[in-house]
Structure 1
Amino acid sequence: MSGRVVVVAAGRSPDSEALAMTPGSSARKPHVVFTPSGRSGAVAEGTTVLDAARVLGVDLDSVCGGRGICGRCQVVPSLGSFPKWAIEATADALSPSNETEAAYAGRRPLTSAARLGCQAAIRSDAVLDVPPQSQLHGPVVRKSIDVGDIVLDPMTTLHAVTIPAPTLDERRGLAQIVIEQLGAEWSVAVGGTLPSALGGLHRAVAAGDGLITAAVRWSGTEPLDRTGSLAAVWPGVVTTALGIAVDIGSTTVAGHLTDLQTGEVLASAGRMNPQIRLGEDLMSRVSYVMMNAGGDAELTALVRDALAELVVELCTDAEADPEMVVEVVLVGNPIMIHIALGIDPTPLGQAPFTLATDSAVEIEGPQLGLPCPAARVYVGPAIAGHVGADTAAAVLAGGPHRSDEITLLVDVGTNAEIVLGSSAGLWAASSPTGPAFEGAQISCGLRATPGAIERVRIDPQTWAPRFRVIGCDLWSDDPGFDDAVERTVAVGSRSAAAGVTGICGSGIIEVIAEMFLAGVLSAEGVIAAPPACDERSARVIADGRTFSYVVYEPPPHREGPTITVTQNDVRAVQLAKAALRAGIDLLCERADIRAPQQVQLAGAFGAHIDPVRAMVLGLIGDCDPEAVRSVGNAAGTGAVRALLSGSQRAEMESVVSEIRKIETATEPRFQELFVAAMALPHATAPNPLLGAEIELPERTVAHGTDARRPSDTGARRRPRHRRSR
């Protein structure tokens, strides 16, 4: 009997009685040690390495059932003296290479030092190394996304089985024959057949000439309690099962294609959510459904088309077949998930914001229009009406529930999700920040595209700005900047536009924080012009009844927009940051936490925020800037973790069930905190830790207004804070 070793999903433990079935005599049996696990034991002479690994509970992979086809059971013999185990390992510890190994031509090359575990027989004491690529639950190969340290525990496993030739006397159906062969050849108990397996069953058996690969999907939260179902079949031996993790954001839809057996991320891709054309933020899309008959179906069709296109793009990039995608994990905010599943989202547009379900949902891929006939889609659990599976996935990735330190996790987007707490308990809320942080509602704002200003520094003496744009490493005061940015943007963007085109979200944060530090802005967010004779006056221009700050004017010989920050821009950012800060402060109050010990900024926007400037703006409370870090696309990372491991799904569901939810929309205290948070950095909260990093302007009142006096020269940076280029 041969098969996959230590398959957690199958709920099987090693069978110690298997020793009795191996060949050998009553003489001393060879002692074998497997590294890096250190598992060891005596086995009968002539036992294959694969069978010895199974008996000893060693994590050695196999898909082809010991036929020497898949190449996943490779081991590397270690030669020499090993006093720790009292072993002298020699070159003849394993049987010589046989014809099967000589003819092996699988996708995983067999090096001169390696042996196929299913073919090599143990002759004497041996020390055998199981490389990471041969470990079913081995280290994850990381590519473009870091999933951290997890044990691979896929919910779908592959098993090659032999199907006997049909006869007229056979009374069993083909699916039942496959199920019984899985039990006979793999000791895998399969309880039924999913519809996705039936359509191609006859074709697979005929094309495979009696040898097929069956995909078994496991259900259940604990490995030993899982039950299996026949999910798909393919002719011959198939060694790769694919999975896709997708984060459906209100702005972007991002996905990662992975090899479920290795954990390797094969491709990553993203695209704009096409629903944007029907509403910039979540509530505007709910309003669209309310105001337009059939609006819900239109939104559903848009996002499902985007998902299908994303699947095709990922598979094309990895030169993979969508039919080999057997697992999909979807996360997103509740409104996005409701729309994707075809559920009316309008109850989430008004109190009490009732979810159709807060539990995880499983559905077949074709039901969502995905070009993956064998795929099962797992939709993560939601936390509250406006805190969804994307936040649950971010928690899984960021791990605040695994830490004793008080952690603040913030995913900044059109709707900011906030989680606060530690292993002692978590609190969660959302704040309606709107699209200002993504460049919308800003006069010269745009999303993160080539040519968008992303970094800004302002001289406190002259108010002259210098900046850097996406796609160019030079700062605006570096020689050759204008030529470089024209070339970079013309190549990097599909549009005809070139040069400096606007300000993206991270640039908005920085320019307003720098305007405050330099004295262009008062603590109340008022742009006040200096006297006309002041050299700084060239940077501030009249704009109706208010003023605007000029960030960039194209050189005389070049065309392009003049980029300014208007008083309305400042107000839009103040409203967004006050909503976020009020949500954070409310959670701190309700959790009785004075301040977090570490801050995790999630999402594409969070990845590019300068922590000090974010604190100057008052986006987050006072803390050590060194404790603020980006965790990247935490929702996508958590989704990949849930894709690769059923145990991770169980952990996510367990954590979500314990999170305490605060609904900011119905909390009277939220409004009070919101008003106080409008000021820069804050109307009342002290900032000693930020003040130790960078010197903040003193709050002053000018001639009956809240604006800074024109004579102010702005902030003086403390020497220990190095201004970045």
Structure 2
Amino acid sequence: MGKCVNHPETETSYKCMKHNIYLCDQCLECRDPELYCKYRSSCPIWFLSKGTRKLDESGQTPAREATCRVDFSPDGKSAEVPAGATLLDAAGKADVYINASCNGKGACGKCKLIVEDGEVEKTDTALLSDNEKQKGYVLACQSRVKGPVSVRVPEETIERKLRVAGMGEEITRRLQGRVTEISPMLEKISMELSPPSLDDPVSDLDRLKRGLKKNGIDTNRTNIGLPVMRQLAAAMRNKNWNVTTSIMHKACSSEVVAVEPGNGAHPGLGLAIDIGTTTIVVYLVDMADGRVIAATSGHNRQASCGDDVINRIVCAEKNGVKKLSTLVLSTINTLIREAAEGAGVDFRDIGNVVVSGNTTMTHLLLEIEPRYIRREPYIPSISEFPVLKSGSIGLKANANAAVFVMPGPASYVGGDIVSGVLYTGLHRQEELTLFIDVGTNGEIVLGNKDWLICASCSAGPAFEGGGIRWGMRAEQGSIESVTIEPVSFEPRIKTIGDEPPRGICGTGMIELISEMMLTGIIDQRGKFQLDADHPRMGAVGEEPAYVLAFADQTPMDEDIVFTESDIDNLIRSKGAVYAGFTVLLNQIGVSFDMIDRVIITGGFGQFLDIDKSVTLGLLPDIDREIFHYYGNSSIGGAYMALLSADHRQSAGEICNAMTYMDFSTNTAFMDEFTSALFLPHTNLEQFPSVSAKMRETAN
């Protein structure tokens, strides 16, 4: 059994041996009916789609189901689908990338297409503007074909593809030098074997082993399964005993996963995947030189089941792990497809994958029961995974691709933090380092090359845009920087890409609240002090709100506002993080002045203002020179592990070196958390520089 290449949520037993992919009942059609295929005589897909057809009760061959041709431009691809199928179904069959982040439920409004010819049955939606409807825009998931139709992928989607590919160049420059020697998990070895003779009558398998030994492979520790044995006779003779063997290297052994005729020993492609609770990031990597050829990110569709890992686990208990796995797998496969389309490559060339994520996310991806993560004594089912095959997971890659899942030391400190430590290198350095990952879970690590202690506090998704009215990830059009004029209270904003504002990301939120407090717009409790009649004050229902950008400045023609509820969510998030590392330091007898370096990670965007983060009360009020921002360290560590066996080994060593501190029953944490629910803190003695600023602005 495997996952359908077009419908990853569907398991199927139908496998195309030519392309090494699975197809479900909806997709049972030979992809190359006009080409010779050596598997055809025993291929159930060929038999069911092109071979004999069952007779109906009258003994006559039934008429084929009516199909409609859908042409896609500018891709130049087309597909035949049954009448009544959606344009999204047709796009999947034609292998045309369409962004459907809500998984075809009509809730996200992103799967836009333009109908140029033909007629479709449309469901009315408020997610398309009147102007878009007049131009022929439709939502692919809400439009069903009635006959032949021609559609065009909108220009903005094509531009998105270009950005996906263009981002890789910048990321490659940032990661350059992190890996000096590439050693993938899935290695392809091309061999020219000697043909058998009366003088050399050894079996095909022994001949293969002999060739592998010559190439430095320890065959005594290499497994060769029955599916590969079945390939040998044809594969060896097809190209006159020239074969390419795919070998998956594991911790203590290796496995031959495929033998193909001819010389196909190219390095192929790799994937580094960061599965965040809120955001998923994918890097598509050239395994020959380590270049990131495309990078993309998207909202984790599991968010429909709750913002944090506890809610996800509860949802899994009620509706089954399968549902949560399908949602995250659908998100990842959409991003893989987007990256491959943007780079102009075939996802079937992906042979190596590294997945980094917290413990709950990795369990749910792999359909492993997560319920005991939230039950005392809080133990996960798996902490360190063997190398897996992509086909068994359902990832959109070569079915034999090797998948390494970053190990995690505890239920609430997972592989994403191990990956972050690997990326920052703190496990190899003398300096006492405080590592803070400001995300939905708020993980913390303290230590150096001699010892590591870690903890986690639920910060919520606010810094990643969750629970904030106009919150969004750090992408084009998000407000990333804010200053407020202290007399007029007029804001000056900067957006990523200098585009019209569409929302506000983590860095923008931190700067906004800091500025509002120092200018007196809000008090230390986060309550508005500015007169309700001020031009910059608005309301959402009866709740007061500060207007960051007026409707005529935004592409949505709506005011971008920040409400008291938004402020309260941010204060709670920053309070959890500050309380977390304060308790961790106190428990082991370390003060802030003993720390040599503070590393901050998280998907904030390009810049994080340390002064304003201290003013908010997110970070301690200590020497600013010791703060260092590393961005998304989880994907950085995944990239390093993808390319290097040494880094994969280091990941295991880091995981085993970590000691976990549990805050769930720690009364000191709740005391510190309550104290931190003010701006910047109840105890202003811990923030002397902020106190000085507050006195200065008050005068």
TM over 0.5: yes
Which residue does the alignment assign to 2:190? 160
Q: Structure 1, unaligned stretches of length 5 or more?
A: 1-139, 221-225, 473-487, 489-498, 699-712, 717-725
Structure 2 residue aligned with 1:425: 451
- Equivalent residue for 2:283, pick from 247, 256, 263: 256
Q: Is the 8 A contact 1:529 1:541 kept in 2?
A: no
Report SS of the residue matched to 2:685: coil
Alignment of 1:668-687 (within 5 A): 668-684=667-683, 686=685
**Letter aligned with residue 623 of structure 1:** I
Q: Give the alignment partner of residue 411 of structure 2, picking from 366, 385, 398.
A: 385
- 2:28 match: none
Question: Is the 2:413–2:443 contact (alpha carbons within 8 Å) kept by the matching residues of 1?
Answer: yes
* 2:240 corresponds to: 209
- Residue identity over aligned pairs, in percent, reads 30
Is the aligned partner of 1:176 residue 2:175? no
Note the C-alpha offset of 1:173: 4.4
Instruction: Give the structure 2 partner of residue 564 of structure 1.
Output: 561
Structure-2 separation of matches of 1:558 and 1:658:
50
**What letter is aligned with 1:505?**
G
Secondary structure of the structure 2 residue equivalent to 1:682:
coil
Query: CA–CA distance in 2 between the matches of 1:545 and 1:714?
Result: 30
**Matched letter for residue 562 of structure 2:** V
Q: One-letter code of the match for 1:334?
A: T
CA distance 1:420–1:199, shift in 2 (3 Å): farther
Q: Does 1:506 align with 2:507?
A: yes
Contact persistence 2:457–2:663 (CA under 8 A): yes
- Letter in structure 1 aligned against 2:508: G
* Change in 2 beyond 3 A, CA 1:157/1:361: closer
| Equivalent in the alignment of 1:478 | none
Distance 2:333 2:470 in 1: 33
Offset at 1:670?
0.5
Deviation at 1:254, TM superposition (A): 1.8
In 1, Cα distance between equivalents of 2:177 and 2:598: 18
Deviations 1:380-409 (A, max 9, x none): 111211111111101100111122222222
1:559 offset after TM fit, Å? 7.4
Unaligned runs of 5+ residues in structure 2 are 1-168
After TM superposition, give the deviation of residue 193 of structure 1 in Å.
3.4
Equivalent in the alignment of 1:230: 256
Aligned to 2:301: 274
Number of the residue aligned with 1:66: none
The one-letter code of the counterpart of 2:379 is: T
Asked if structure 1 preserves the Cα contact closer than 8 Å seen for 2:413 and 2:456, the reply is: yes
Counterpart of 1:188? 217
**Distance in structure 1 (CA, Å) of the matches to 2:645 and 2:347:** 22
Shift of 1:469: 2.4
1:350-389 to 2 correspondences below 5 Å: 350-370=375-395, 371-389=397-415
> Which digits, 9 at most, give the CA deviation of each residue in 1:620-641, with x for residues without a partner?
1122233322212211111111
SS in structure 1 of the partner of residue 683 of structure 2 = coil
1:256-655 → structure 2 map (5 Å cutoff): 256-292=283-319, 295-370=320-395, 371-472=397-498, 488=499, 499-529=500-530, 537-540=534-537, 547-555=544-552, 560-595=557-592, 596-605=595-604, 607-655=606-654
Give the whole-Å Cα distance in 1 for the aligned partners of 2:680 and 2:283: 38
**Take 1:227 and 1:672, find their aligned partners in 2: how far apart are those partners?**
50
Task: State the shift of 1:658 in Å.
Answer: 1.4
What's the CA shift for 1:464?
A: 1.8
Maintained 8 Å contact 1:612/1:690: no
Distance 1:186 1:283 in 2: 49
Aligned partner of 2:187: which letter?
T
Is the 8 Å Cα contact of residues 578 and 674 (structure 1) preserved in structure 2?
yes
2:175 to 125, 146, 157: 146
Give, as a single letter, the amino acid of the residue that structure 2 aligns with 1:574.
I
Give CA deviations for 1:537-584 in whole Å, capped at 9, x if unaligned: 443457888743332333599972223322222211111110111111
CA-atom RMSD in angstroms: 3.0
Structure 1 residues 253 and 180, CA gap change in structure 2 (3 angstroms): same
Q: What are the superposed Cα offsets for residues 187-229 of structure 1, whole Å, 9 maximum, x if unpaired?
A: 4322333447456544543443321222333333xxxxx6443
One-letter amino acid of the structure 2 residue matched with residue 218 of structure 1: H
TM-score, normalisation: structure 1: 0.66
Pick closer, same or farther for the CA change 1:606–1:562 going to 2, 3 Å: closer
Distance 1:241 1:689 in 2: 55
Change in 2 beyond 3 A, CA 1:146/1:357? same
Amino acid at match of 1:627: I
Task: Give 1:304 deviation, angstroms.
Answer: 2.4
Distance 1:502 1:530, change over 3 A: same
> Residue type of the partner of 1:439?
G
> Deviation string for 1:490-514 (max 9, x for gaps)?
xxxxxxxxx4333232221111110
| 1:665 aligned counterpart, secondary structure | coil
Give CA deviations for 1:235-256 in whole Å, capped at 9, x if unaligned: 3332324332211112222222
Deviation at 1:695, TM superposition (A): 4.8
Return the letter of the residue paired with 1:524: R
Q: Which amino acid in the other structure matches residue 409 of structure 1?
A: F
Q: Deviations over 1:680-705 (max 9, x none)?
A: 122225356845xx95203xxxxxxx
**Distance apart, 1:145 and its partner CA:** 5.1
User: 2:140 — aligned with what?
Assistant: none
Determine helix, strand or coil for the equivalent of 1:308.
helix
Q: Closer, same or farther in 2 for the Cα pair 1:263/1:204, shift >3 Å?
A: farther
Whole-Å separation in 2 of the counterparts to 1:177 and 1:646: 28
Q: Which amino acid aligns with 1:390?
A: D
Aligned to 1:714: 697
Deviation at 1:457, TM superposition (A): 0.3
Q: How big is the shift at 1:448?
A: 3.7
Indicate the larger mover: 248-257 or 143-152: 143-152
Aligned residues: 524
Cα deviation, 1:701-721, whole Å, max 9, x if unaligned, reads xxxxxxxxxxxx8368xxxxx
Task: Give the conservation status (yes or no) of the 8 Å contact 2:355–2:403.
Answer: yes
1:550 is matched by which residue type in structure 2? V
- Deviation per residue, 1:107-155 (Å, 9 max, x gap): xxxxxxxxxxxxxxxxxxxxxxxxxxxxxxxxx9972651643342333
Q: Say if 2:675 and 2:683, in contact at 8 Å, map to a contact too.
A: yes
| Contact 1:275 1:299 (8 Å CA) reproduced | yes
Distance 2:328 2:433 in 1: 33
Q: 1:406 to 1:179 in 2, by over 3 A?
A: same
Alpha-carbon distance between aligned partners in 2 of 1:160 and 1:433, rounded to the nearest angstrom: 51
| Structure 1 residues 234 and 544: alpha-carbon distance in aligned structure 2, compared to 1, 3 A threshold | closer
Matched residue of 1:522: which SS?
A: coil
Deviations 1:47-83 (CA, angstroms, capped at 9, x unpaired)? xxxxxxxxxxxxxxxxxxxxxxxxxxxxxxxxxxxxx
| CA–CA distance in structure 2, aligned partners of residues 557 and 629 of structure 1 | 33
2:662 alignment counterpart: 663
For 1:265 and 1:182, how far apart are their aligned partners in 2? 31
Kindly indicate whether residue 272 of structure 2 is the aligned counterpart of residue 245 of structure 1: yes
Change beyond 3 A, Cα 1:257–1:576? same
